[in-house]
Amino acid sequence: MKRIYFQAGPTTLPKEVMEQAKEEWDDFQGTGLNIMEHSHRGKHYEDIHEQAKSRMRLLLDIPDTHDVLFLQGGASLQFAMIPMNLISQGKTAKYVLTGSWSEKAFKEAKRIGSSEAVITGKDSEYRTLPKMDYVPSDSDAYLHITSNNTIYGTQWQDLNTFTHPTLIADMSSDIMSKPFSVSNYALIYAGAQKNLGPSGVTAIIIRKDLLQDHENVPSILSYAVHAKNKSLYNTPPVYSIYLLNLVLDWVDRSGGVAEMEVRNKKKADVIYNAIDRSNGFYNGYATPESRSLMNVTFTLGNSDLEKQFIKESEENGIYGLKGHRSVGGFRASIYNAVPQESCESLAEFMDHFQEKYG
């Protein structure tokens, strides 16, 4: 039986994906080897590598103007690679701060080149998303946003409304969860370990005009080098990409990204409703208009009950609810692979807990 599990990432993968990986564990397609034992230059792995890229393209409707890369180093390496590759002489990188991850991205950019935070939601303790009224300037290297703020549980509701000629988004915690227009973005990146698969691989979607090699950027950190080598410049994380490919297949067979959004809304509703009908026994951390469909954050009106809440949730087979240390309280991460039934079990538990202690 799979656990009822709400961890923020790495986290649960679709049951069907795990079953297929198990089936192919010691004999991938009659080869007598696990796929991770195959050469990354061999036909078996190459097929997976290409299939994973094609599936990304198909599911997100990625236009020919953009390339797909699979790199290592997590989203955190992208915090550095982006400014290294994209801040040129006389240009300034602009950041929208909506939580700890965008702060980290900005901090890294400042180490590398001219960078400025142009909008911040910090005044609200990142409970609400700020007004996005930035007017692009010719001197902008790019504008960086974080589409979903994993720690605070806020999410930009519509990814198609921002206009900047070089818009960059960290979509680590909501890529593949709802449709949006890739062509609005110059670069999108996402660590895989929430909606795409296991940790170890980062997906990057990059507009081809940004693929310029720079003498002062080491090869391993150059988008142009990775694109030219089709993400095989060095040995890729073979097993992570194999699993990512299976997850993408699962998304496709489940009805694609539009269906993911339908499911995600339904799942989030169940938990937000439990918070909203509790009359302050539970309090949502994010303001309602900024609420995330991926990370539901909440606290208890009576914080003395927090330990008891975790203890009893685990006694009921529900795990992974502890909030991030910087926010406290609780967080239910309900990425694509978390089933509806898990959310219903949590809401039911929340109601019972309130009946008992409210």
The residues annotated as belonging to the active site are 101, 170, 194
Which tokens go with 18?
A: 């795990």
Q: CB of 352: closest distance to ligand PMP in angstroms?
A: 30
Nearest C-alpha neighbor of 70 from the set 274, 238, 281 = 238
292 is in an annotated binding site: no
11, 12, 146, 177: which one binds ligand PMP (CB under 6 A): 146
Please give the C-alpha separations between residue 195 and each of 143, 203, 291, 294, 331, in angstroms, as whole numbers.
24, 11, 18, 10, 16
The CB-side HSE value for 41 (13 A sphere, CA atoms) comes to: 4
Q: Which of 301, 356, 290 is nearest to 330 (CA)?
A: 301
| Rounded least distance, CB 102 to ligand PMP, Å | 8
Q: Does 150 bind ligand PMP (CB under 6 A)?
A: yes
Question: Is 302 annotated to bind ligand?
Answer: no
Binding mask 102-141 for ligand PMP (x = CB under 6 A): ----------------------------------------
State phi, psi for 50 to the nearest 5 degrees.
Answer: -70, -40
List the structure tokens of 214.
């720079």
- Stretch of 20-28, 70-78, 224-232, 248-256 lying at the interface with ligand PMP (CB under 6 A): 70-78
How many residues bind ligand PMP, per CB under 6 A? Answer: 11
Residue in 206, 181, 222, 343 with CA at minimum distance from that of residue 273: 343
Contact between 309 and 330 (Cβ < 8 Å): yes
Q: Does 153 bind ligand PMP (CB under 6 A)?
A: no
- Residue range at the interface with ligand PMP (CB under 6 A); choices 69-77, 119-127, 228-236, 313-321: 69-77
Within 8 A by CB and 6+ apart from 101, the residues are 75, 146, 149, 150, 151, 170, 172
User: ∠ CA(351), CA(357), CA(358), 5° rounding?
Assistant: 70
Would you say 124 or 308 has its CB closer to ligand PMP? Answer: 124
Q: Is 163 annotated as a binding residue?
A: no
According to DSSP, residue 298 is labeled: E
Number of C-beta neighbours around residue 26 at 10 A? 11
Instruction: Select from 74, 153, 284, 323 the one that contacts ligand PMP (CB under 6 A).
Output: 74
Q: Which stretch binds ligand PMP (CB under 6 A): 122-130, 165-173, 284-292, 345-353?
A: 165-173
CA gap 348, 80 in Å, rounded: 43
Considering beta carbons, is residue 67 or 108 the nearer one to ligand PMP? 108
Tell me the residue type at 292.
Answer: S
- The verdict on 98 binding ligand PMP (CB under 6 A) reads no
Which member of 6, 9, 129, 186 binds ligand PMP (CB under 6 A)?
Answer: 9
**Which residue of 172, 195, 290, 342 would you call a contact of ligand PMP, by CB under 6 A?**
172
- Closer CB to ligand PMP, residue 150 or residue 177? 150
Compare residues 85 and 150 and give the one whose CB is closer to ligand PMP: 150
Closest residue (Cβ) to ligand PMP?
74
H or E stretch covering 262: helix 256-276
Beta-carbon contacts of residue 346 (< 8 Å; ≥ 6 apart)? 4, 6, 270, 271, 274, 313, 318, 321, 332
Contact 81, 109 (CB under 8 A): no
101 marked ligand binding residue? yes
Q: Least distance from C-beta 89 to ligand PMP, angstroms?
A: 28
- 268 vs 347, which CB is nearer to ligand PMP? 268
Q: Does 75 bind ligand PMP (CB under 6 A)?
A: yes
Least distance (Å) from ligand PMP to the CB of residue 101?
A: 4
Provide the sign of the torsion angle of the four alpha carbons 230, 200, 172, 106, taken in this order.
Answer: negative
Among 67, 140, 170, 249, binds ligand PMP (CB under 6 A): 170
Q: Is 198 in the site for ligand PMP (CB under 6 A)?
A: no
Residues lying near ligand PMP in the complex (CB under 6 A): 9, 74-76, 101, 146, 150, 170, 172-173, 191
Binding residues: 41, 75-76, 101, 150, 170, 193, 234-235
